[in-house]
């Protein structure tokens, strides 16, 4: 461990880290382009040049390690190195590098998607020259090059930092990219016969410090300074990558990975990122609907729920009821389902549909829903994959499907056969799916990006999801639907419904009210858990200690919340 | 006065000098046999250390010291590399040895392998030297036939193979780490140092790299002893060097001399004087990358101490002579075009800076120079020099800076009068 004096401030440099890493870790900023914490160090951009006392020339902070000096050789009796990052010589070098980078840069900021978050703009403003002495014609290089399905490359904007190349070599290990030609004509291209189609290709656009790599799904969509950022979590697998959702006027414009060292690091997969594109094309219905005379017709909310409740509350033996739950439900939704089930059916029912798929060694997990860990924690029963749907539904009279399109890809005749014994089929989903179209009662729910909640990843890591866009009034999170139904239940007179249960409803309602006020988010997991525990008799005997095997810490830490 | 000792060129001139029989008649592999049979690896290394042999590639690093950086453990895989990617403008010494006395190089490499316990060697030869590659290939196979290469060489227990690798025409691959990348089949780009090749070289294994001429000096040192070599000529850079004379000189060619020869002696005594008996204008003493000398700066010795006095260095000992008819602007343009073309493009100052320099110098040459251009050239040089990964940036900036500083009036004349000095003549190429 070395002690370094950097611009008069003391910092500690560990043997395995470079000067730049140590400085950034200790909140001293040195500008850089080619360095990226998750990629190898190449020292190519020369932006991080600093003055090291005693060194004949400036050194790149990103490649400089600091060996510990013997006691008698320490500078001023205690330092292993003295660094200046703001001396005239360093400033001159920074100006020089920026002048060079801009020589052949098209300066097309007005039409560049990177504008507003471009390191070339930012550094030019902070460290650059106010005018250029380059009077010559700029060189032209390939523009609008399709490197792959998503990525478009502009060699004129490129500063050849090779982050994208190293990403493909070191993270995805697919090695599609290389620099070709040399000198000032150098640019990035794919190797012959290859294209940039690895499952993480869009990350290259994230790590590109300039506008050289952009992706088609966001290209020319919106100026970045108009975007509103909300932190959330990717719903597409049990990794739960931390994301930032950028919206404009209530529409999701793009999703970018958000650094979270204990979940996803710096990256996310293209599939997860493009979930926003996929949900755009899905059919939605914003009003609860009831099937009458064969047609699923929209209904006023209150009347709809009254009819529904009068038909299902304590009307069926638990053995005649099947409820299909989803790993897309947040902890709060799962919890409120248990309350709902307890009150309406007298016991906790439910099968969580366990959907798996391909995984990789980088981020993608085989569990294809976000919150299976939450479902495990709430002690819900799991059922593997779609083919068992038949077995779950067989012989049941009431079937409720929440947030899963269980009949997707199954022919209508077959569905009818599966549902032959079913008297009431309730579907609750954010989208008006194939399954929803077969239902007697359809309840629209808020989608993943339209509600608040928490989710556990495969490693029992708790994160918060946020309301990135507001849902239309009719679409609610499941817990709000439950809250609404329980309120109605207290008003309704239902035969055989024991008055003793009313007291239970009262206590549960309190819990659900705290959901509503989002208190869950304020105190983290522990206070929320305590409240739920008090409200639900089945949870009374569980202590936080019992949860330890699942990986919870008693602190109830939430990551990626900053 | 310089000595005309024949160490490197002794065997050259014979018709079949590249053949192993002819070479052995001239004493080839005697030093190897001596080293393998009568000396320990430590003794060999020590002898080279005593000789004070300095690297001949351009930087002049002490050879024995470089060898000693390789890890000592026998079990560790280590490689030797011979840099035969001679492409510095004005330099053509290695080609002479490769084409005429390849066994001297091979012998030197095997002795180095014995001294350093290396497992294999690579000779990386410039792509534009097909004849040299053919000759080396044959020489290597002949060395295998005589059991100077292969397993258990001459019963000494040393296993050593040499592989010949041909370049694909990039100047930058003469830089040691770019060369290693190129051997590995990667893009020829210099690596950041540290790690140095001695710990992370070819295929990530500890490697030592020396120039052709450096290896070719080793047999004579082993044969005659380090002391003999250390006392040859210059104290600073002992032994003989192959000086390549080119440009406006009556007798261009390679001259083997000790480094205490002065630039003036080289040009006037050995080179026969200036072509056309014109006045001498400028000399580039060590290949195109080193600062230029004016005609007043030639009374210095051709070793690093001597040339340091006039702000230059011996580099690769390729001496380029320019007489008064040379337009220095045009000459510099020719140089900077070369560096712009050969910059690998990975680091910013070299990639963009050489391009900017070329454009300004081209403008001045065309008569479109502007006031302030010379200041811009100097400030660009400052922003390139010492700020790049490898020395190519320095190599481009040093001549630019020295040309402008030492021949400033001529550059100013060009900017003001928009034409060459009257005594100069327009030429298409200088070198």
Number of cross-chain residue pairs from A and B with Cβ atoms under 8 Å apart: 101
Contact with chain B for residue A466, Cβ under 8 A: no
CATH of the domain at B413: 1.20.1440.230
Q: Are residues A69 and A113 in the same domain?
A: no
Question: Do residues B381 and B402 touch, judged by C-beta distance below 8 A?
Answer: no
Interchain contact, B349 vs A97, CB within 8 Å: yes
Same structural domain, B181 and B99: yes
Q: Which are the contacts of B252, defined by CB distance < 8 A and separation ≥ 6?
A: B245, B246, B271
Q: Which residues in chain B have Cβ-Cβ distances shorter than 8 Å to A45? A: 347-348
If you measure CA to CA, which chain B residue comes closest to A185? Answer: B345
Q: In what order do the strands lie in the sheet with A228-233?
A: A228-233, A242-248, A251-257
Answer whether residue B430 is part of any domain.
no
B343 touching A, CB under 8 A?
A: yes
Q: What is the pLDDT of residues B179-196, one digit of tens each?
A: 999 999 999 999 998 899
Within this chain, do residues B84 and B205 fall inside the same structural domain, yes or no? yes
- Tell me how crowded residue A199 is: count the other CB atoms within 10 A of its CB: 17
B232 contacts chain A (CB < 8 A): no
> Looking at residue A117, what DSSP letter applies?
S
How confident is the model at residue B36, as a pLDDT? Answer: 95
Domain limit, last residue, from A472, A498, A524: A498
Nearest to A160 among B351, B382, B386 (CB): B351
Task: Let me know whether A18 and A108 are in one domain.
Answer: no
Check whether residue B334 and residue B277 sit in a common domain.
Answer: no
Q: What is the pLDDT of residue A526?
A: 43
d(CA A340, CA A509): 11
How far apart (Å, rounded) are the C-alpha atoms in residues A271 and A283?
20
Residues A434 and A494 in one domain: yes
Please tell me if residue A49 touches chain B, with a CB cutoff of 8 Å. Answer: yes
Q: Which of A96, A132, A191, A209 is most worth mutating to test chain B (most B CB atoms within 10 A of its CB)?
A: A96
Residue A504 domain-assigned (yes or no):
no
Final residue belonging to a domain, choices B189, B204, B230 = B230
Q: Best mutation site among B188, B341, B351, B366 for testing chain A: the one with the most A CBs within 10 Å?
A: B351
Q: Collapsing DSSP states into helix, strand and coil, what is residue B82?
A: strand
Interchain CB contact of B41 with A (< 8 Å): no
Number of domains in chain A: 3
Q: Answer whether B362 touches A (CB < 8 Å).
A: no
Contact B383 A139 (CB under 8 A): no
Is B59 found in the same domain as B127?
Answer: yes
Do A316 and A191 fall within a single domain?
Answer: no
> Would the CB atoms of A104 and B355 count as touching at under 8 Å?
yes
Question: Are B392 and B252 in a shared domain?
Answer: no
Statement to judge: residues A403 and A312 lie in one domain: yes
Helical (H) or strand (E) element with B321: strand B318-323
Are residue B150 and residue B295 in the same domain, yes or no? no
A352 touches chain B (CB under 8 A): no
| Binary contact (B353, A100; C-beta < 8 A) | yes
Judged on CB neighbours under 10 Å (0-12, 13-18, 19+), B393 is: buried
| Domain termination site, one of B198, B230, B262 | B230
Name which of A32, A46, A60 to mutate to probe chain B: the one with the most chain B Cβ atoms within 10 A of its Cβ: A46
Cα–Cα distance for residue pair A542/A40, rounded to 1 Å: 47
Asked whether residue A126 falls in the same domain as residue A175, the answer is yes
Residues B36, B169 within the same domain: yes
* CATH code of the domain in which A177 resides: 3.30.70.20
Token pair 């000032």: residue: A184
A159 contacts in chain B (CB < 8 Å): 348
Residue A542 within a domain: no
- B26 Cβ contact partners less than 8 Å away, ≥ 6 residues apart: B10, B11, B14, B17
Q: Do A338 and A487 have their domain in common?
A: yes
Check which CATH number belongs to the domain holding B24 and give it.
3.40.50.11540
A350 with A380: CB under 8 angstroms?
yes
In a domain, B425, yes or no: no
In the structure encoding, which two tokens stand for residue A485, read together?
A: 């139904």
B41 plus B167 within the same structural domain: yes
Length of chain B: 431
Same domain flag for A109 and A67 = no
Interchain CB contact of A169 with B (< 8 Å): no
Tell me whether residue A309 is in a domain.
yes
User: Is B197 in the A-facing interface, judged by CB distances under 8 Å?
Assistant: no
What is the C-alpha to C-alpha distance for residues B238 and B261, in angstroms, rounded to an integer? 12
What is the C-alpha separation between B268 and B274, in angstroms, rounded?
7
- A375 in a structural domain: yes
ipTM reported for the complex surpasses 0.90: yes
Query: Which phi and psi (to 5°) does residue B210 adopt?
Result: -135, 160
Q: Say if residues A448 and A424 touch (Cβ distance below 8 Å).
A: no
CA-nearest residue to B359 within chain A is A136
A129, A188: one domain: yes
Domain that includes residue B249, residue range:
240-323
With beta carbons under 8 A apart, name residues in chain A contacting B366.
none
Give A466-492 as a 3 state SS string. CCCCCCCCCCECHHHHHHHHHHHHHHC
Q: What is the 3-state secondary structure (H, E, C) of A127-158?
A: HCCCCCCCCCCCCCCCCCEECCCCEEECCCCC
- Give the CATH number for residue A354: 3.40.50.740
Helix axes A478-491, A331-345, angle to 10 degrees: 30
B205 and B63, same domain (yes or no): yes
Last residue of a domain, one of A498, A524, A553: A498
The dihedral sign for the CA sequence A27, A31, A33, A34? negative
Could you list the beta-strand ranges (E) of A211-339. Answer: 213-215, 228-233, 242-248, 251-257, 289-292, 295-298, 321-325
Read off the CATH number of the domain in which A82 is found.
3.10.20.740
Say yes or no: B348 contacts chain A, CB-CB below 8 A: yes
Residue B2 lies in a domain: no
Test the A interface: residue of B193, B387, B391, B398 with most A CBs within 10 Å: B387
Enumerate residue ranges in chain B where pLDDT < 50: 428-431
Q: Are residues A75 and A120 both part of a single domain?
A: no
Written as six digits, the tokens of B113 are 């392998």
- The reply to whether A131 and A78 lie within a common domain is no
* A133 to B376: CB separation less than 8 angstroms, yes or no: yes
Q: Note the pTM of the prediction, 2 decimals.
A: 0.90
Residue B332 shares a structural domain with residue B319? no
A26 touches chain B (CB under 8 A): no
In a domain, B14, yes or no: no
Among B230, B250, B276, the domain-final residue is B230
The whole domain housing A11 covers: 2-86
A427 φψ region: left (φ > 0), alpha (ψ -120 to 50), beta (else): beta
**Quick one: DSSP state of residue B270?**
I
Contact between residue B239 and residue B112 where contact means Cβ atoms under 8 Å apart: no
Q: Do A93 and B383 touch (CB under 8 A)?
A: yes
E strands, B226-294, where?
Answer: 240-247, 253-258, 280-284, 293-294
The one-digit pLDDT tens for each residue of chain A (562 residues) are 899 999 999 999 999 999 999 999 999 999 999 999 999 999 999 999 999 999 999 999 999 999 999 999 999 999 999 999 999 999 999 999 999 999 999 999 999 999 999 999 999 999 999 888 899 999 999 999 999 999 999 999 999 999 999 999 999 999 999 999 999 999 999 999 999 999 999 999 999 999 999 999 999 999 999 999 999 999 999 999 999 999 999 999 999 999 999 899 999 999 999 999 999 999 999 999 999 998 999 999 889 999 999 899 878 888 999 999 999 999 888 878 887 887 788 778 899 999 999 999 999 999 999 999 888 877 788 887 656 788 888 889 999 999 999 998 888 888 888 899 999 999 999 999 999 999 999 999 999 999 988 888 888 888 889 899 999 888 988 988 887 887 777 677 665 555 445 555 555 555 555 444 433 344 444 444 555 555 544 444 444 444 333 333 333 334 443 3
Q: At what angle do helices A525-535 and A500-516 cross, to 10 degrees?
A: 170
Judge whether B100 lies within some domain: yes
Here the CATH number for the domain that contains residue B301 is 3.10.20.600
Task: Choose the closest CB to B349 out of A42, A46, A139.
Answer: A46
Q: Judge: B347–A46 Cβ closer than 8 Å, yes or no.
A: yes
B352 in contact with A at a CB cutoff of 8 Å?
yes
Dihedral-angle region of residue A224 (phi above 0 means left; psi in -120 to 50 means alpha; beta otherwise): alpha
Residue in B344, B349, B354 closest to A96 by CB: B349
Tell whether A192 is covered by a domain: yes
Cβ pair B354:A184 closer than 8 A = yes
Chain A partners of B356 at a C-beta cutoff of 8 Å?
A: 100, 103, 134, 136
B132 lies in the same domain as B116? yes
- Residue B139: closest CA among B158, B164, B113: B164
Q: Is residue B265 part of a domain?
A: yes
Cβ distance B348 to A100 less than 8 Å, yes or no, reads: yes
> In chain A, what residues touch B340 (CB-CB under 8 Å)?
183-184
Q: Are residues A142 and A66 in the same domain?
A: no
Q: Is residue A558 part of a domain?
A: no
Q: Which chain A residue has the Cα nearest residue B360?
A: A136
One domain, residues B154 and B299: no
Tell me, rounded to whole angstroms, the distance of Cα B401 from its chain centroid.
Answer: 21
Question: What total of structural domains would you count in chain B?
Answer: 3
The answer to whether residue A436 is domain-embedded is: yes
Q: Give, for A389, the enclosing helix (H) or strand (E).
A: helix A389-393
The predicted pLDDT at position A522 comes to 42
Token reading at A537: 């008799």
Q: Return the residue matching tokens 């260095």.
A: B313
Name every chain A residue with its beta carbon within 8 A of the beta carbon of B349: 46, 96-97, 100
**Which residues of chain A neighbour B196 with C-beta distances below 8 Å?**
none
- Spell out which residues of chain B touch residue A138, defining contact as CB-CB under 8 Å: none
């Amino acid at each position: 461990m070395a002690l370094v004096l950097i611009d008069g401030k003391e910092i500690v440099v560990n043997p395995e880290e470079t000067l730049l890493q140590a400085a950034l870790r200790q909140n001293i900023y040195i500008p850089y382009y080619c360095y990226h914490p998750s990629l190898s160090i190449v020292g190519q951009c020369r932006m991080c040049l600093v003055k090291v006392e005693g060194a004949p020339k400036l050194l790149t902070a990103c490649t400089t390690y600091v060996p510990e000096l013997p006691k008698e050789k320490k500078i001023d009796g205690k330092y292993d190195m003295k660094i200046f990052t703001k001396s005239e010589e360093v400033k001159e070098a920074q100006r020089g590098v920026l002048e060079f980078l801009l020589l052949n840069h098209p300066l097309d900021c007005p039409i560049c998607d990177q504008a507003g978050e471009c390191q070339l703009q930012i550094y030019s403003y902070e460290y650059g020259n106010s005018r250029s002495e380059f009077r010559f014609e700029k060189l032209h290089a390939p523009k609008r090059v399709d490197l792959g399905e998503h990525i478009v490359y502009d060699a004129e904007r490129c500063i050849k930092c090779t982050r994208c190349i190293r990403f493909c070599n070191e993270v995805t290990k697919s090695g599609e990219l290389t620099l070709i030609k040399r000198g000032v004509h150098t640019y990035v291209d794919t190797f012959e016969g290859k294209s940039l189609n690895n499952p993480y290709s869009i990350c290259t656009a994230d790590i590109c410090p300039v506008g050289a790599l952009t992706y088609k799904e966001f290209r020319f969509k919106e100026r970045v300074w108009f975007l509103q950022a909300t932190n959330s979590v990717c719903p597409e697998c049990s990794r739960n990558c931390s994301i930032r959702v950028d919206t404009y006027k209530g529409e999701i414009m793009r999703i970018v990975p958000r650094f979270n060292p204990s979940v996803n690091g710096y990256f996310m997969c293209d599939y997860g990122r493009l979930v926003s594109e996929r949900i755009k094309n899905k059919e939605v219905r914003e009003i609860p609907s009831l099937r009458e005379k064969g047609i699923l017709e929209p209904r006023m909310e209150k009347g709809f729920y009254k009819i529904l409740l009068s038909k299902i509350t304590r009307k069926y033996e638990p053995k005649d009821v099947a409820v299909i739950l989803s790993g897309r439900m947040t902890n709060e939704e799962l919890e409120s389902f248990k309350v709902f089930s307890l009150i309406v059916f007298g016991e906790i029912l439910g099968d969580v549909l366990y959907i798996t798929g391909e995984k990789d060694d980088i981020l993608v997990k085989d569990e294809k829903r976000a919150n299976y860990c939450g479902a495990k924690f709430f002690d819900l029963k799991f059922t593997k994959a779609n083919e068992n749907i038949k077995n779950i539904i067989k012989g049941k009279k009431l079937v409720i499907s929440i947030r899963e399109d269980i009949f997707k890809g199954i022919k209508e005749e077959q569905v009818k056969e599966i549902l032959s014994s079913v008297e009431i089929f309730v579907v609750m989903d954010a989208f008006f799916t194939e399954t929803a179209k077969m239902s007697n009662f359809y309840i629209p729910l808020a989608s993943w990006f339209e509600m608040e909640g928490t989710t556990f990843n495969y490693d029992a890591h708790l994160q918060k999801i946020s309301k990135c866009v507001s849902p239309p009034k009719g679409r609610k999170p499941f817990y709000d639907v439950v809250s609404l139904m329980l309120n109605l239940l207290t008003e309704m007179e239902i035969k055989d419904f024991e008055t003793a249960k009313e007291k239970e409803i009262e206590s549960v309602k309190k819990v659900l009210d705290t959901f509503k006020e989002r208190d869950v988010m304020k105190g983290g997991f522990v206070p929320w858990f305590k409240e739920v525990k008090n409200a639900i008799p089945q949870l009374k005997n569980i202590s936080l200690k019992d949860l330890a095997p699942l990986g919870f810490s008693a602190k109830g830490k939430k990551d990626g919340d900053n | 006065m310089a000595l005309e000792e024949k160490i490197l060129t002794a065997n050259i001139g014979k018709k079949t000098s590249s053949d192993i029989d002819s070479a052995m008649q001239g004493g080839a592999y005697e030093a190897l046999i001596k080293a393998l049979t009568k000396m320990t690896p430590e003794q060999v290394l020590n002898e080279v250390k005593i000789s004070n042999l300095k690297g001949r590639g351009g930087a002049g690093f002490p050879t024995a010291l470089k060898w000693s950086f390789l890890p000592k453990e026998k079990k560790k895989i280590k490689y030797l590399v011979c840099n035969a990617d001679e492409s510095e403008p004005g330099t053509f010494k290695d080609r002479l040895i490769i084409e005429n006395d390849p066994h001297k190089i091979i012998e030197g490499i095997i002795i180095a392998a014995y001294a350093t316990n290396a497992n294999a060697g690579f000779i990386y030869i410039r792509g534009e030297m097909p004849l040299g590659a053919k000759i080396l290939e044959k020489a290597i196979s002949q060395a295998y036939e005589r059991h100077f290469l292969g397993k258990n060489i001459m019963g000494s227990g040393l296993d050593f193979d040499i592989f010949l690798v041909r370049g694909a025409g990039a100047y930058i691959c003469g830089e040691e780490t770019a060369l290693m990348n190129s051997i590995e089949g990667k893009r020829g780009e210099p690596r950041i140092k540290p790690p140095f090749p001695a710990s992370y070289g070819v295929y990530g294994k500890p490697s030592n790299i020396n120039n052709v001429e450096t290896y070719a000096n080793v047999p004579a040192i082993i044969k005659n002893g380090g002391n003999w070599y250390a006392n040859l000529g210059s104290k600073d850079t002992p032994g003989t060097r192959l000086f390549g004379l080119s440009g406006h000189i009556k007798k261009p060619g390679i001259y083997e001399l000790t480094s205490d020869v002065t630039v003036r002696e080289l040009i006037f005594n050995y080179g026969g004087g200036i072509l056309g008996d014109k006045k001498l204008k400028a000399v580039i003493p060590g290949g195109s990358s080193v600062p230029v000398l004016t005609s007043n700066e030639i009374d210095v010795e051709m070793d690093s101490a001597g040339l340091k006095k006039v702000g230059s260095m011996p580099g690769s000992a390729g001496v380029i002579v320019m007489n008064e008819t040379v337009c220095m602007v045009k000459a510099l343009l020719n140089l900077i075009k070369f560096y712009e073309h050969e910059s690998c493009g990975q680091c910013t100052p070299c990639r963009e800076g050489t391009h900017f320099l070329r454009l300004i110098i081209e403008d001045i040459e065309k008569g479109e120079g502007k006031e302030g251009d010379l200041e811009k050239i100097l400030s660009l040089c400052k922003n390139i020099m010492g700020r790049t990964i490898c020395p190519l940036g320095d190599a481009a900036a040093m001549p630019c800076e020295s040309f402008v500083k030492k021949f400033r009036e001529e550059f100013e004349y060009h900017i003001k009068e928009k034409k060459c000095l009257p005594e100069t003549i327009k030429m298409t190429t200088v070198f």
